[in-house]
């Protein structure tokens, strides 16, 4: 074989091997951002406790959100959307979900919109916020969790 072709074939083989190994690693370990929080029982319990204390009064005891959440009110606010898979939290990458909880809903509000989503930077530590997010995610079906994982990679979809 021509030495140059040999080189190209070798490079191709090595590249394929590395790429396959990398994808395999990511898939097998589920190590996309946010999966790192894991669904271990201690984190779940901690996340659920914070959810019940801080979030349930608006987002619902069963994460079902407030009635009519899809319709913006005349004053520019919206009712709290569900946190289960019927809402649109899963359309955001982890970083955006985290920022909304830490800094409040206002950070992504457009002109004419007002947010009643409070900021939790005073009352919840960063690990507490990740625990709440892990708890919320644990209620989603696998398929929705996978779609959100893709949102992580793409940087998220346009907010509604």
Return the number of the residue (54 or 147) whose C-beta is nearest ligand HEC.
54
Return the number of the residue (26 or 58) whose C-beta is nearest ligand HEC.
58
Return the closest-CA partner of residue 118 out of 128, 103, 136. Answer: 103
Q: Is 134 in the site for ligand HEC (CB under 6 A)?
A: no
Instruction: Give the burial string for 59-82 (b: 16+ CB within 10 Å, else e).
Output: bbeebbbeeebeeeeeeeebbbbb
CA-to-CA separations, 132 to 51, 55, 58, 89, 110, in angstroms, rounded? 6, 9, 15, 13, 26
Q: Is 149 in the site for ligand HEC (CB under 6 A)?
A: no
Distance CA 41, CA 19 (A): 34
Q: Is 58 in the site for ligand HEC (CB under 6 A)?
A: yes
- Kindly state the number of chain residues that form the binding site for ligand HEC, as judged by CB under 6 A: 22
Distance CA 102, CA 123 (A): 9
In whole angstroms, the minimum distance from the beta carbon of 155 to ligand HEC comes to: 15
Return the number of the residue (115 or 138) whose C-beta is nearest ligand HEC.
115
Which residues inside 72-111 make contact with ligand HEC, applying CB under 6 A? 78, 80-81, 87-89, 92, 97, 100-101, 105
In whole angstroms, the minimum distance from the beta carbon of 52 to ligand HEC comes to: 10
Distance CA 60, CA 64 (A): 5
Return the number of the residue (26 or 144) whose C-beta is nearest ligand HEC.
144
């Amino acid at each position: 074989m021509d030495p140059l072709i040999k080189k190209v074939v070798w490079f191709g083989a090595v590249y394929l091997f590395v790429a396959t190994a990398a994808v395999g690693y990511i898939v097998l370990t589920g190590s996309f951002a946010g999966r790192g929080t894991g669904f271990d029982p201690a984190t779940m319990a901690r996340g659920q406790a914070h959810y019940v204390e801080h979030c349930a009064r608006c987002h619902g005891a069963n994460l079902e959100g407030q009635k009519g959440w899809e319709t913006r009110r005349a004053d520019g606010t919206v009712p709290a959307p569900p946190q289960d898979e019927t809402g649109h939290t899963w359309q955001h990458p982890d970083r955006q979900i985290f920022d909304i909880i830490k800094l409040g809903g206002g950070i992504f509000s457009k002109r004419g919109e007002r947010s009643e989503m409070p900021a939790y930077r005073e009352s919840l530590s960063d690990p507490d916020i990740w625990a709440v997010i892990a708890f919320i995610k644990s209620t989603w079906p696998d398929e929705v969790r996978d779609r959100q994982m893709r949102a992580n990679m793409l940087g998220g979809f346009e907010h509604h």
